[in-house]
Amino acid sequence: MKSQLQKYLGSLVFVFLLCLSIALGATAGVLFVYNSDLPQVAQLEDYRPSLITEVYADAGQVIGSFALERRIQVAWDQIPQVMRDAIVSVEDQNFYEHWGIDFYGIARAAMKDLMAGRIVEGGSTLTQQLSKNLFLTPEKSPRRKIQEAMLAIQIERNYTKQQILTMYANLHFMGHGQYGFAAASEFYFGKDLKDVAIEEAAMLAALPRSPPIYSPINHPDRAVMRRNYVIDRMVEEKKITVDQGEEAKKKPLVLAPKRRPDELAPYFVEELRRYLERTYGTSAVHEGGLKVYSTLNVETQKAANTSVRDGLRVYDKRHGWRGAGRNVLTPGADLAKIALPEWKLPIRTNDIVPGIVLDTNGNAARIRIADYEAALRPQDLAWTNAKAASDILKRGDVALFMVRSMSSADRKMEITLEQKPQVQGALVAIEPRTGEIKAMVGGYDFDESKFNRATQAMRQTGSVFKPFVYTSAVDMDLLHPEDTIVDSPVSFGAWSPGNYDGKYKGTIPVRQAFAESRNIPAVKTLSRVGVQNLIPYLRRFGITSKIEPVLPIALGAADITLIEMVSAYTTFPNDGVRVVPQYIRRVTDYDGNVLEENLPELRDVVSSETARTMVDLMQEPVRRPGGTANKAQELKRPVAGKTGTTNDFTDAWFIGYTPSLTAGVWIGFDEKVTLGDKETGGKAALPVWLEMMQTVYKDKPVEQFDTLPATTSNPSHADPNAVAAASARARP
């Protein structure tokens, strides 16, 4: 009997050991299979997540970025203790003790989920979450959970807790296109991660659980609930005191205000993007974390933005009111409750935003903009020539208004009526000495049209082309500013040019002919130079556009981009040397290695004597009474430049310069239709240039141009005999 029992027990032990061996073997086999296709984590410190490429202005301000995932990489010492405590408290209380898998945490989470009847807490460690984010798909399956655990163990064997928590903080998706806690802190709170308070750290730590569900922007109530849970966990883990926790939970959810789409230099940044992608590839630009140090100057660009938008609105208003864009009044509609999409963003003084006409009473109209009201009075719409608001607006109309002032106390505004211009404009400003582009505007609204009219639009130049004709004549010793020239009818075969005013003034000084932009003298000068001789000059000035070798180009019958023209003009204040325009000073990779560094590229164009002679001559349109650019005197400093107007007033130009800055403005319609009668370069474009320059040079010392000796630079100071001799050889 005893022998049989021993034999029976022996069989049971054998079967048990056999089953155990099979189970262990199967488990080992499964683990081997699952482990065979796992990535290696030993080189994880070399892992480079997708990073933001940032663009900097000339003084170091960030002016743009490119990214597929908006991420700001931080090191361990850049993560404040309160942020570390918040993350560990809510996600992995035993983080500093476990070796990748927390069996106690799994059991605790399972118990809580069982008691709640739903999943309220997960059992994954931070290291498991990191392994999933780095290497695995989001699928929920036993295979994936096993692989996640195995990867977590590998990570823990190869890296310190500090390294693991830092990688977690940099990689996690935080909602609204933000990756990593640093980017999320900047996006949600407008501050660096190192500066977050307890309630802000808790809000950030709350997001990894489910960024869409706990978004503080889309679901603030859920976000606060989850934030307060994180704060309670921090108290329970003794990371903060009970009083600190209660105080933090009382704090309201305060997010950084979302700005209107008023990027500083969208056309400039887009030019950079296209160049960078051509040079370094799309992946490097959008994922590589490049640092691009550009030439743009923030203050100059701000002045350019304002002046172009102001100038286009002024032009547009000269041509009348086109009516309200739409009407939202429908049967049963309550105008006091209708919300326009543009009102979701903060409204500030000087913003142009849509408003709803609530009613018109007498001469005034009552306007609603978000939760503000304003009275639109006759003086607020004087430019329309309407005597009363009711003449042009009716109840329910949606129109644009500029906010002149606003009072949050009584929710009142002061406004003026506006309309969006249909005309377009462009501006480029270049520093002559370095060739650095300091400002660029390519149109009225980048969001509506990405077409850059500063670099892509080929437009007829009109009289801004004439300086090149006179430069070639001066350089070839065929003409001098002290000479005279005959302004009289002339015919060149089938072509008989005429002056803008239809008049002829006979023998006049070259200075007067240039100042008043007389056409006949310019054509005669080019005839003496020879069209074929002019073309090489244009190429030296950097004009690469196709130029037909015909006499009408003397009057600007050539299509050229604004940036080419402005770059060519920089030759004059730079003593005859043109510096090739550049957007970028330096590009580095994420590690700081220099990929590209640009030094000024100099091109000799004309002699310094010719350049200084032309600078003197090109001041005549500004300083001479009757000059086409006489308005530029309002800058109250030496200015040289030239206006340009094309046939039928389709293009208006002004390009002018001081010793330190050359800027050009173009105004016109994309369709090449007329701007309207008498809409000349001096009337439409010059005021834009002047407004920008007045802002740029406010409170700056006056600069003087380099000049030739007095006997040749200005006839009012020259030797009388020399002037008489020059006048005697009047040009035909």
pLDDT 10s digits, 198-238:
999 999 999 999 999 999 999 999 999 999 999 999 999 99
Q: What is the pLDDT of residue 601?
A: 96
According to DSSP, residue 582 is labeled B
Quote the Cα angle for 672-676-679, to 5°.
Answer: 100
In a domain, residue 7? The reply is no
Q: How far apart are CA 313 and CA 494, in angstroms?
A: 41
Residue closest to 122 by CA, chosen among 203, 209, 204, 207: 209
Q: How far apart are CA 309 and CA 317, in angstroms?
A: 12
Q: Please check whether residues 503 and 539 belong to one and the same domain.
A: yes
155-191: pLDDT as tens digits: 888 889 999 999 999 988 999 989 999 999 999 999 9
Q: What is the pLDDT of residue 132?
A: 76
Return all residues near 314 (Cβ < 8 A) that are at least 6 apart.
687
Look at residues 219, 250, 281 and tell me which one is the last residue of a structural domain.
Answer: 250
- pLDDT of residue 717 exceeding 70, the answer is no
- Stretch 565-572: mean pLDDT: 98
Q: What is the pLDDT of residue 615?
A: 98
Average pLDDT across the chain, whole number:
88
Q: What is the pLDDT of residue 509?
A: 97
Q: How many CA atoms lie within 13 A of 156 on its CB side?
A: 19
Residue 82: exposure state from Cβ atoms within 10 A (0-12, 13-18, ≥19): buried
pLDDT band of residue 69 (cuts 50, 70, 90) is confident
Assess whether 91 carries a catalytic annotation.
yes
- pLDDT of residue 724 exceeding 50, the answer is no
Q: Phi and psi for 542 in degrees, rounded to 5?
A: 90, 10
Residue 80: exposure state from Cβ atoms within 10 A (0-12, 13-18, ≥19): middle
Q: Please check whether residues 398 and 438 belong to one and the same domain.
A: no
pLDDT band of residue 433 (cuts 50, 70, 90) is very high
pLDDT band of residue 711 (cuts 50, 70, 90) is very low
In a domain, residue 272? The reply is no
Q: What is the pLDDT of residue 147?
A: 73
Q: Please check whether residues 484 and 562 belong to one and the same domain.
A: yes
Q: Please check whether residues 579 and 710 belong to one and the same domain.
A: yes
Look at residues 389, 418, 447 and tell me which one is the last residue of a structural domain.
Answer: 418
Q: What is the pLDDT of residue 390?
A: 92
Strands 178-179 and 291-294: unpaired
CATH of residue 615: 3.40.710.10
- pLDDT of residue 15 exceeding 70, the answer is no
Q: What is the pLDDT of residue 129?
A: 83
Q: Please check whether residues 129 and 212 belong to one and the same domain.
A: yes
Q: Phi and psi for 186 in degrees, rounded to 5?
A: -65, -40
Output the pTM of the full model: 0.83
Assess whether 210 carries a catalytic annotation.
no
In a domain, residue 51? The reply is no
**Contact at 8 Å (CB) between 531 and 396?**
no
- pLDDT of residue 731 exceeding 90, the answer is no
Q: What is the pLDDT of residue 712?
A: 42
- pLDDT of residue 595 exceeding 50, the answer is yes
In a domain, residue 304? The reply is no
Q: Please check whether residues 480 and 376 belong to one and the same domain.
A: no
| Count of beta carbons in the 10 Å neighbourhood of residue 502 | 6
Tokens representing 97 are 């003790």
88-147: pLDDT as tens digits: 999 999 999 888 787 765 666 556 555 655 554 556 888 888 877 776 455 555 665 677
Residue 646: exposure state from Cβ atoms within 10 A (0-12, 13-18, ≥19): buried
349-394: pLDDT as tens digits: 999 999 999 999 878 999 999 999 999 999 999 999 998 999 999 9
Question: Which residues partner with 398 through β-bridges?
Answer: 326, 356
Q: What is the pLDDT of residue 185?
A: 96
pLDDT band of residue 611 (cuts 50, 70, 90) is very high
pLDDT band of residue 43 (cuts 50, 70, 90) is low
- Stretch 621-640: mean pLDDT: 97
Q: What is the pLDDT of residue 467?
A: 98
Q: Please check whether residues 545 and 489 belong to one and the same domain.
A: yes
- Stretch 473-483: mean pLDDT: 97
In a domain, residue 82? The reply is yes
- Stretch 401-409: mean pLDDT: 95
Q: Please check whether residues 602 and 472 belong to one and the same domain.
A: yes
Greater pLDDT, 333 or 703? 703
In a domain, residue 54? The reply is no
Strands 437-441 and 62-66: unpaired
Determine what percent of the chain is predicted with pLDDT higher than 90: 74
In a domain, residue 296? The reply is no
Domain enclosing residue 396, as ranges? 323-330+346-418
pLDDT band of residue 729 (cuts 50, 70, 90) is very low
Q: Please check whether residues 395 and 465 belong to one and the same domain.
A: no
- pLDDT of residue 32 exceeding 50, the answer is no
The residue annotated as part of the active site, out of 89, 294, 463, 567, is: 463
Q: How many CA atoms lie within 13 A of 530 on its CB side?
A: 5
The residue annotated as part of the active site, out of 91, 270, 271, 691, is: 91
Q: How far apart are CA 402 and CA 379, in angstroms?
A: 13
CATH of residue 370: 2.40.50.140
Q: Please check whether residues 394 and 445 belong to one and the same domain.
A: no
Q: Phi and psi for 652 in degrees, rounded to 5?
A: -120, 130
pLDDT band of residue 20 (cuts 50, 70, 90) is very low
Q: What is the pLDDT of residue 521?
A: 97
Q: How far apart are CA 240 and CA 246, in angstroms?
A: 10
- pLDDT of residue 516 exceeding 90, the answer is yes
- pLDDT of residue 614 exceeding 50, the answer is yes
Count of the separate structural domains present in the chain: 3
Q: Please check whether residues 599 and 702 belong to one and the same domain.
A: yes
Determine what percent of the chain is predicted with pLDDT higher than 70: 85
Q: Is 598 helix (H, G, I), strand (E, B) or coil?
A: coil
Handedness of CA 198, 202, 205, 211 (dihedral sign): negative
Q: What is the pLDDT of residue 316?
A: 97
Q: What is the pLDDT of residue 700?
A: 96
Look at residues 418, 435, 463 and tell me which one is the last residue of a structural domain.
Answer: 418
In a domain, residue 378? The reply is yes
Q: Please check whether residues 352 and 456 belong to one and the same domain.
A: no
Q: Which residue has the tokens 């940044």?
A: 269
